[in-house]
């Protein structure tokens, strides 16, 4: 499931990355899950009646809800009165109607179901992701520190992926964990659905998508320091024969809560300065491209008991739609060429470029 590479970074390289992060400045972490954006509020609809919600969504006030009206609201990002789970439930109800429309009576039924507290079944892990740390992002492209560029080139060799995929991925995330800091178990990537689009390729994305998710084919975690005690990376369900979300709650204890259950993780890796840890967040689609989310990639950070922990995350962003990824890379290459008036720095993805030739 994971590949551990000791000595991937030298002691000096670890020191330089930490110093660059300190110079850039560290920010307090957010407490939202990776697949969720800041607009994805969990605030309930407490101040509106069902009829008022229907009226707000019914943009043309014809007494019928169309798909585009719901989607238009979901992408406006101008309020917190309707969250993505509500929107998905309403959209599913609309698509189940032969007419593709919702009357007020239809909406009452669909909306009331989406608001029921009982939908959160007992035995299901809590959905609110918690973490405490400080972090920053470091650019690795042209003009960045040579250590950061070397690290990215080394990552291309390690993953054997097309260089363009790595070069167009997210900046390096550097994180500092002090005493007591932690990160609940989570998936780095979001599951692909018809109503979602990848955040990294939104330039060429589906404008009617309900929400954006992080599409991260793989993760390479760099340990920039060793830790005296605690701070392990835990994989709660690694090597389980089957994956069931309900099984994450055992004897009333939520295994995603790393503050309470780190010792119960199936696999725990102790930080060692210079070591790189690689794992895939998605399965193969059988044709050499990114497939479904690998549920077993669930992982978290145990609380630091003594000392300080420095890590860096390098994510390789891939759109599960090969054509959309290629379209995105063409657009980036065109923009770069228009801006610089030079030869393309980012090479477009060709049809022969696969993630793994042997899948």
DSSP 262-290: GGG-SEEE---TT-EEEEESEEE-SSSSE
pLDDT surpasses 80 at 134: yes
**pLDDT tens, residue by residue, 51-91:** 877 887 777 788 898 887 777 655 444 344 566 667 778 88
Residue 242 has pLDDT above 80, yes or no: no
Under 8 Å between Cβ of 94 and 100: yes
Considering only residues 198 and 85, tell me which one the structure prediction assigns the higher pLDDT: 198
pLDDT attached to residue 337:
76
On average, the pLDDT of the chain sits at 81
Whether 183 has a pLDDT exceeding 50, the answer reads: yes
Residue 116 pLDDT grade (very low, low, confident, very high; cuts 50, 70, 90): low
Mean pLDDT of 298-323: 96
> Which structure tokens are listed for 205?
């994305």
Instruction: State how far the Cα of 9 lies from the Cα of 274, in Å rounded to an integer.
Output: 4
Q: Could you give the domains of the chain?
A: 2-36+127-340 (2.60.120.620), 50-117 (1.10.238.10)
d(CA 338, CA 155): 29
Supply the DSSP symbol for 295. Answer: G
- Look up tokens 């790595």; give the residue: 166
Q: Are strands 229-230 and 233-235 parallel, antiparallel or unpaired?
A: unpaired
Highest mean pLDDT (candidates 27-41, 313-327, 329-343): 313-327
Please spell the DSSP secondary structure of 7-68, one letter per residue. TSS-HHHHHHHHHHHHHH--EEPP-S-TT--TT-------S--HHHHHHHH-TT-SS-B-HH
Q: Given pLDDT bands bounded at 50, 70 and 90, which one contains residue 207?
A: low
pLDDT band at 305 (very low <50, low <70, confident <90, very high): very high
CA–chain centroid gap for 173, Å, is: 13
pLDDT above 70 covers what percent of the chain?
75
Kindly give, in sequence order, each residue whose CB lies less than 8 Å from that of residue 194, ignoring residues fewer than 6 positions away: none
- Judge whether residue 45 has pLDDT over 50: no
Alpha helices of the chain — where are they, by DSSP H?
A: 11-24, 50-57, 67-74, 84-95, 104-115, 146-159, 163-167, 258-261, 322-340
Alpha-carbon torsion angle 276, 280, 284, 287, nearest 10: -30
**By the 8 A CB rule, do 184 and 130 touch?**
yes
Backbone angles phi, psi at 56, to 5 degrees: -65, -35
């Amino acid at each position: 499931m994971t590949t551990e590479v000791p000595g991937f970074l030298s002691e000096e390289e670890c020191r330089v990355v930490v110093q660059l992060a300190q110079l850039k400045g560290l920010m307090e972490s957010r407490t939202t899950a990776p697949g969720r954006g800041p607009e994805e509020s969990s605030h309930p609809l407490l101040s509106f009646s069902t009829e008022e919600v229907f009226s707000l969504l019914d943009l043309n006030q014809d007494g019928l809800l169309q798909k585009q009206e719901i989607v238009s609201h979901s992408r406006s990002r101008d309020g917190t009165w309707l969250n993505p789970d509500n929107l998905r439930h309403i959209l599913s109800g609309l698509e189940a109607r032969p007419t593709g429309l919702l009357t007020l009576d239809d909406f009452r039924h669909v909306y009331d179901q989406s608001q029921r507290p009982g939908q959160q079944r007992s035995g299901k892990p809590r959905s609110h992701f918690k973490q405490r740390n400080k972090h920053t992002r470091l650019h690795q492209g042209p003009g960045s520190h040579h250590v950061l560029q070397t690290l990215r080139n080394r990552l291309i060799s390690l993953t054997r992926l097309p260089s363009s995929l790595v070069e167009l991925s997210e900046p390096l995330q550097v994180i500092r964990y002090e005493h007591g800091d932690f990160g609940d178990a989570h998936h780095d990537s979001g599951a692909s659905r018809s109503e979602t689009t990848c955040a990294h390729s939104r330039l060429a994305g589906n404008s009617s998508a309900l929400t954006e998710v992080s599409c991260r084919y793989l993760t390479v975690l760099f340990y920039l320091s060793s830790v005296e005690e605690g701070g392990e990376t835990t994989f709660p369900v690694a090597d389980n024969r089957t994956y069931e979300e309900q099984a994450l709650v055992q004897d009333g204890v939520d295994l995603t809560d790393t503050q309470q259950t780190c010792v119960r993780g199936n696999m725990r890796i102790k930080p060692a300065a210079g070591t790189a840890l690689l794992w895939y967040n998605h399965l193969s689609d059988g044709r050499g491209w990114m497939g479904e989310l690998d549920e077993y990639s669930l992982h978290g950070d145990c609380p630091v008991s003594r000392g300080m922990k420095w890590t860096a995350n390098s994510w390789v962003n891939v759109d599960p739609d090969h054509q959309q990824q290629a379209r995105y890379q063409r657009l980036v290459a065109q923009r770069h060429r228009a801006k610089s008036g030079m030869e393309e720095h980012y090479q477009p993805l060709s049809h022969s470029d696969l993630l793994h030739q042997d899948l």
